Structure 1
Amino acid sequence: MVPLLTFLIGLDIDRGTARREAIQELLKSEYAKESLVDRVTRSVDQFIGDLLDRESVGVVGSVAARAALVAIVIAIIVAVIVIARRTARGGTARQEGIFGERRRTASEHREAAERLAAEGRWAEAIRERLRAVARDLEDRVIVDSTPGRTAGELAAEAGRALPDLASDLTTAARVFDDVTYGELPGTADDYAMLRDLDERLRTARPTLEKAGPS
């Protein structure tokens, strides 16, 4: 790694001029609507082209050194693209909370969950089953109806009202997050756990909070 860094530092490049040229290029109107990833990719492509055209590379560098430089830059581009996609995808999913845009009843969520489970689409079935749990708890006023609530927040609030099921609620929330945000596939066992919890919650009764002084 040290010899490669020495090689890069030793290149005779007017970095200030190159940076100013790159900034002026990106300020042009045709780049105004480009995404951050596109801008970075374009800048790096231009940098590589300018770098390999320099006469100094022929003196200081070699074919192997230039190939190593290109490989490093490509790795950086790939990392930027992967991070940008994950951030965009994760941000969109989290803004929706537990429920999607359409409001459904607990029964509708259960029916959708069973249909998806029959097709072996475990991640989607798990999401629908937890939505059935959340809607049922809201309809029975065990938890407040809170737009944008996360699975963890649901488990925490429901667990306070139903302490005997608090641990199972936390596990269910973790499974929901794993298949929704962690991109895990979900399993038949995970879905069976959610279905069993849903059935037990339907007959559970909240613990009365400690009354104030009479």
Structure 2
Amino acid sequence: MPVEVDPDAAREAAARELADPAYAAAEPSFPQQVFERIGRFLGDVLSAVGDVAPGGLVGAMILLLLAVVVFIVIRLRVGPLARSLRSDVVTVDRGRSSEDYRQAAEAARDRGDLGTAVRERFRAIVRELDGRGVLDERSGRTVDEIAAQAGQRLPHRASELRAAATLFDDVVYGGHPPTEAGYDAVAALDTALQAERPAMAAR
């Protein structure tokens, strides 16, 4: 004889069974569920692209890789990433004095080449600070490192040093158009630093 099961009793029995903690522990966590759904979505997208792309799934992956490469190349050439990878390095020739750089800066300004004038005048500052022992003599420093190190030794000039470093960075690496006012500010800082020999000589 078949056993008749009351529907309400069956629902109650099922609810009691599913309320067992063992079932909850066996379920995947919320993050796991999210990752699984993302994985399924990406799989569906790649599968759909693979159906229409030349070469199937492999072709789709190659196209995706090429798109990423193109994006990176564009960012390297025109985006903020380009600036960070160039590192904004300031190089100075130890065979040239700070006065050599000043003369080069003034000559560039006289012929209207303000970009070169800003670059050479900032290098004059770096060479001056090198010779005074404010900066340690090494190559490959970035403008930020120069401003930070010199600012620690000359705290009353820290803001001016940061401003000059930013201007150098913007003109030389950022492609910003230089101005006479900007050059004059860097030159004024250079002149002021020359007059601070006693203060800079003290460790």
Match of 1:20 in 2: 55
Deviations 1:83-142 (A, max 9, x none): 2423685367426x1116886332221121111111222122111111110011101212
Percent sequence identity is 32
Structure 2 residue runs without a partner (length 5+): 1-46
Query: Do the aligned residues in 1 keep the contact of 2:92 with 2:127 (CA within 8 Å)?
Result: no
Match of 1:181 in 2: 173
Superposition TM-score, scaled by structure 1 size: 0.57
Q: Greater CA radius of gyration, 1 or 2?
A: 2
Match of 2:35 in 1: none
Superposition TM-score, scaled by structure 2 size: 0.60
Within 5 Å, give how 1:160-175 maps onto structure 2.
160-175=152-167
Superposition RMSD on alpha carbons, in Å?
Answer: 3.4
Query: Do the aligned residues in 1 keep the contact of 2:90 with 2:142 (CA within 8 Å)?
Result: yes
Match of 1:49 in 2: none
Q: Say yes or no: does 1:85 pair with 2:120.
A: no
After TM superposition, the structure 1 stretch with the greater mean CA deviation from structure 2, 121-130 or 200-209, is: 200-209
Secondary structure, aligned partner of 1:206: helix
Looking at structure 2, the residues matched to 166 and 191 of structure 1 have their Cα atoms a distance apart, in angstroms, of 18
Q: Select which of 142, 155, 159 maps to 1:150.
A: 142
Q: Say yes or no: does 1:141 pair with 2:133.
A: yes
Looking at structure 1, the residues matched to 92 and 132 of structure 2 have their Cα atoms a distance apart, in angstroms, of 20
Looking at structure 1, the residues matched to 156 and 84 of structure 2 have their Cα atoms a distance apart, in angstroms, of 33
Looking at structure 2, the residues matched to 206 and 102 of structure 1 have their Cα atoms a distance apart, in angstroms, of 20
Q: Say yes or no: does 1:195 pair with 2:187.
A: yes
Q: Select which of 101, 106, 110 maps to 1:114.
A: 106
Aligned-pair CA distance for 1:191: 0.5
Looking at structure 1, the residues matched to 90 and 75 of structure 2 have their Cα atoms a distance apart, in angstroms, of 24
Query: Do the aligned residues in 2 keep the contact of 1:151 with 1:177 (CA within 8 Å)?
Result: yes
Match of 1:94 in 2: 87
Looking at structure 2, the residues matched to 196 and 101 of structure 1 have their Cα atoms a distance apart, in angstroms, of 22
Aligned-pair CA distance for 1:183: 1.4
CA 1:116–1:93 in structure 2 vs 1: closer, same or farther (change >3 Å)?
farther
Looking at structure 2, the residues matched to 207 and 195 of structure 1 have their Cα atoms a distance apart, in angstroms, of 21
Structure 1 residue runs without a partner (length 5+): 1-12, 28-35, 42-76, 210-214
Aligned-pair CA distance for 1:150: 1.3
Looking at structure 2, the residues matched to 149 and 85 of structure 1 have their Cα atoms a distance apart, in angstroms, of 22
Looking at structure 1, the residues matched to 101 and 60 of structure 2 have their Cα atoms a distance apart, in angstroms, of 52
Query: Do the aligned residues in 2 keep the contact of 1:142 with 1:161 (CA within 8 Å)?
Result: yes
Name the count of aligned residue pairs.
Answer: 151
Return the letter of the residue paired with 2:124.
A
CA 1:20–1:176 in structure 2 vs 1: closer, same or farther (change >3 Å)?
same
Query: Do the aligned residues in 1 keep the contact of 2:114 with 2:179 (CA within 8 Å)?
Result: yes
Within 5 Å, give how 1:45-56 maps onto structure 2.
none
Looking at structure 1, the residues matched to 102 and 171 of structure 2 have their Cα atoms a distance apart, in angstroms, of 18
